[in-house]
Structure 1
């Protein structure tokens, strides 16, 4: 069994600390072979609690998402845990012409955010969101 530490992203937002410095809210255990079948290295997987409605349609407030910390490049495009100006966010990341990134919320009430190449120094991909754990409605 692989131990996956679960962190509350709301508690982590805004301070720019690494996840290892945060309090672990809980721990889940998954069969190692099942994580491997999903292409995940258990040593690189952490769980993050989703806060807010910006990713509604994909992730809901209160969902948990398993993040693969080994996948820190926005290719292929997907949903990532990011550190943006010291704040942790979960957004779609799309590379655009000229080396900029577009941070996209799945909730249409939020406008995409353009990160220009000169601003990328203030943005870090912490990992790719791979598996959602949430209520079925």
Structure 2
């Protein structure tokens, strides 16, 4: 966050969201997310420790409104107005093509249905993917999660896409060049761009456009 005041507000929302989820104590909430003791959660809500994305995902799976915690809403969103999205820890893994069926689901996050609608996203076409490596530093960091719209695979609309390149999933900024070639760009300047020639396009499949980043929140 940009200031200590913002952090304090976020921590206050976290404590409120835990209570709104029906947990009377931090010990109750900790047991719900699989922690043997409440110390880890206590460290987070008091600001002594940063919360990883995975930690917040466990809270979300236990019914805590993480979107409210992150400041995405002025008030907590009722459960019936949230949409579950499957989150896969598979970015940069080989295999499986564009089908995610059969892949292990890391967790499920709930997002306000209105927010997804504002981005023009069909929940049935959205999946969450974990970012691996530093090639997209400046836009996406190692360990971030990103929501991918599988219905948007058109590189004419420049942006960051999830691709399958020679059997390997990658997240890259994509530009279509004259003649049908693709230019794959890493936002980290230490990585050189890669050109996919038209005759090699059979080895490339665009799986979807990256729309919403989910990073460290505290």
- Give the TM interval when normalised to the shorter protein: over 0.9
The answer to whether the aligner puts 1:52 opposite 2:133 as a matched pair is yes
The aligned residue for residue 168 of structure 2 is 87
Deviation, 1:34, is 1.5
Change in CA separation of 1:44 and 1:121 when aligned onto 2, cut-off 3 Å? same
**Equivalence for 1:114:** 195
Report the CA distance between 1:9 and its aligned residue: 2.2
2:138 partner SS: coil
Which structure 1 segments of 5+ residues have no match?
none
The alignment's C-alpha RMSD in Å is: 1.4
Alignment length (residue pairs): 136
C-alpha distance in 2 between matches for 1:116 and 1:45: 29
The structure where strand makes up a greater share of residues is 1
2:181 maps to 1:100: yes
Which consecutive segments of 4 or more residues in structure 1 shift more than 3 A? Answer: none
- Distance, in Å, in 1 between the alignment partners of 2:96 and 2:105 is 16
Matches within 5 A, 1:1-137: 1-10=82-91, 13-17=93-97, 18-135=99-216
- TM-score (normalizing by structure 2): 0.60
Q: Is this contact kept in 2: 1:16–1:87, CA < 8 A? A: no
SS of equivalent to 1:97: coil
- 2:171 and 2:85 map into 1 onto residues whose CA distance is 19
The CA distance in 2 between the partners of 1:61 and 1:123, in whole Å, is 23
Q: TM-score, normalised on structure 1?
A: 0.94
In structure 1, distance between residues paired with 2:214 and 2:127: 12
Task: Please list every run of 5 or more consecutive structure 2 residues that lacks an aligned counterpart in the other structure.
Answer: 1-81
- Give, in angstroms, the shift of residue 136 of structure 1: 5.5
